[in-house]
Structure 1
Amino acid sequence: MTAEKPIRILLADDHHVVRLGLASLFDFEASMEICGFAEDGLQVVEAYREHHPDVVLMDLRLPGIDGVEATQRIRDESPEARILLLSAFDTDQDINRAIRAGAAGYLVKNTPADELIAAIQAVHRGEEYFTEEITARMNEIRKADDLSARQSEVLGWLAKGLTNREIGDQMGISEDGVKAHLKVIFTKLHAADRTEAVAVAIHRGYLREE
């Protein structure tokens, strides 16, 4: 019987000590091996092209381009890429951006070693790996994903501080039409008013903070 090949991991983190610690962890896992390292987002993209790893384990906060942007670039070139993001942060905005970029999993850095190993194995099998807490938050986030293109446009103008009349002028619709869109937006974002709608949209990653 042929021995199963180890999972080849590309490890990306800008902290040398973190890279060493994770590399040491995988040294004790016969089913896994490090095939490359990267210290910033652009290096990850180049390293993926060079090594074609089975799984990318990547820090969210990287110099140059961050882990989310690196994920997007890798998956644009290689849709089959399996990427697990590891971060010290777990805000809705970070999680939502990671999911939209195509990350297969998201873990915080205080995750126990055995769970990290399980996550890598799951991602390697082609599965997604998110904790129950993050999954619950993802479900809430996805409730707003059915905003129409027009509603998203209204939200964008709203974030720029335009009045209903000004938004209508920009979009070529009536002020009443803008109000109708806002009513739906408030409902979908569970927002009480314009300010809260913009704040929720920024928090969830639908809008970038100016």
Structure 2
Amino acid sequence: MGPLFRSPVSPQRRLKSAYESVPIVLMTAANSVTIVIVDDHPVVRDGLNAMLSAEPDLQVVGEAANGNDAVALVKTLRPSVVLMDLLLPDIGGAEVIKIVCGSFSDINFIVLTTLAGDEEIYRALEAGARGYLFKDMARKELIQAIRVVHRGQRYIPASVGSAIAENLPRMDLSSREIEVLQLVAAGLRNKEIAYRINVSEATVNAHVKHVLQKLNASDRTHAVTIALKRGIIRL
């Protein structure tokens, strides 16, 4: 994360919240972009807070260290933008986005992650995230992304877009194909899978064939390896 997180946290009036003792910052500036930071690492939250405090039009109004607290905090504060980590101790960032966007479509999420091509990223974008950046992005780009997303536009830089595009074939997997792939990973043969999901063995054979094609896998084992790596299935 480099120089983004070297600056000390600027002194501001704070109120200890019920959310894991993470501070809620009281801000009263008018016409500013209000921001909530969600990350389970205090050093990341503090670094982002310090960095954003240098921008007069950006105001951090709260922080959360896990998904459940993030949902409650964001619904209470109704910020303009949420900087959202994906890997949280309880519910994932994608689920937080889905829950919040289901009630408040005007809250804009930017995913901050160290991951590339992980299933959670796709879930976050499908759930309503409007921006996606790697945590080692330059400070200038993060500031720009916040302002762009605040205007209601999407912000996905070319480098990230390429990383997404490389793995988009997995987005074509149907729920049934994912179910079959999960059972393949569990060690079941096609005949056993057919019995388990109450379809013909020929149908299962077709599903497996489609999965191999969509994941560009050479065989069943290769398909399972790819799916586990991308987070499509879990053991």
Q: Per the shorter chain, which TM-score range?
A: 0.7 to 0.9
1:49 equivalent to 2:75? Answer yes
What is aligned with 2:226? 200
Tell me how far apart the structure 1 counterparts of residues 210 and 175 of structure 2 sit (CA, whole Å). 13
Q: What is the identity, as a one-letter code, of the residue corresponding to 2:108?
A: R
Q: Would you say the 8 A contact 1:92–1:137 is kept in 2?
A: no
Cα offsets for 1:92-134 (capped at 9, x unmatched) = 3342232233222222221111000011112112222223232
1:178 equivalent to 2:172? Answer no
Tell me how far apart the structure 2 counterparts of residues 46 and 100 of structure 1 sit (CA, whole Å). 21
Find the partner of 1:133 among 154, 159, 163. Answer: 159
Q: What is the identity, as a one-letter code, of the residue corresponding to 1:140?
A: E
What is aligned with 1:120? 146
Tell me how far apart the structure 1 counterparts of residues 67 and 46 of structure 2 sit (CA, whole Å). 18
Q: Would you say the 8 A contact 1:97–1:205 is kept in 2?
A: no
| Secondary structure class of the residue paired with 1:37 | strand
What is aligned with 2:191? 165
Q: Would you say the 8 A contact 1:96–1:205 is kept in 2?
A: no
| Secondary structure class of the residue paired with 1:45 | helix
What is aligned with 2:173? 147
Tell me the TM-score normalised to structure 1 length. 0.86
Q: What is the identity, as a one-letter code, of the residue corresponding to 1:98?
A: A
Tell me how far apart the structure 2 counterparts of residues 146 and 19 of structure 1 sit (CA, whole Å). 35
Q: CA 1:31/1:62 → structure 2, altered by over 3 Å: closer, same or farther? A: same
Q: What is the identity, as a one-letter code, of the residue corresponding to 2:47?
A: G
Tell me how far apart the structure 1 counterparts of residues 88 and 119 of structure 2 sit (CA, whole Å). 16
Range with bigger deviation, 93-102 or 79-88: 93-102
Q: Would you say the 8 A contact 1:96–1:141 is kept in 2?
A: no
What is aligned with 1:74? 100
Q: Where in structure 2 are there 5+ consecutive unaligned residues?
A: 1-29
Tell me how far apart the structure 2 counterparts of residues 47 and 32 of structure 1 sit (CA, whole Å). 18
Q: What is the identity, as a one-letter code, of the residue corresponding to 1:97?
A: R
Q: Would you say the 8 A contact 1:96–1:204 is kept in 2?
A: no
Find the partner of 2:114 among 81, 85, 88. Answer: 88
Tell me how far apart the structure 2 counterparts of residues 88 and 150 of structure 1 sit (CA, whole Å). 30
Matched residues, number: 207
Tell me how far apart the structure 2 counterparts of residues 14 and 57 of structure 1 sit (CA, whole Å). 12
Q: What's the CA shift for 1:199?
A: 1.9
Q: What's the CA shift for 1:161?
A: 1.5
Q: What's the CA shift for 1:204?
A: 2.7
| Secondary structure class of the residue paired with 1:129 | coil
1:33 equivalent to 2:43? Answer no
1:6 equivalent to 2:32? Answer yes
Q: CA RMSD in A?
A: 2.3
Range with bigger deviation, 77-86 or 94-103: 94-103
Q: What's the CA shift for 1:149?
A: 4.1
Q: CA 1:151/1:24 → structure 2, altered by over 3 Å: closer, same or farther? A: closer
Give the fraction of aligned pairs with identical amino acids, expressed as a percent: 38
Cα offsets for 1:64-88 (capped at 9, x unmatched) = 3332332222223323321112123
Tell me the TM-score normalised to structure 2 length. 0.78
Cα offsets for 1:31-53 (capped at 9, x unmatched) = 21112222222221111111100
What is aligned with 1:109? 135
Q: Where in structure 1 are there 5+ consecutive unaligned residues?
A: none
- The ranges of structure 1 where at least 4 consecutive aligned residues each deviate by more than 4 angstroms after the TM superposition are none
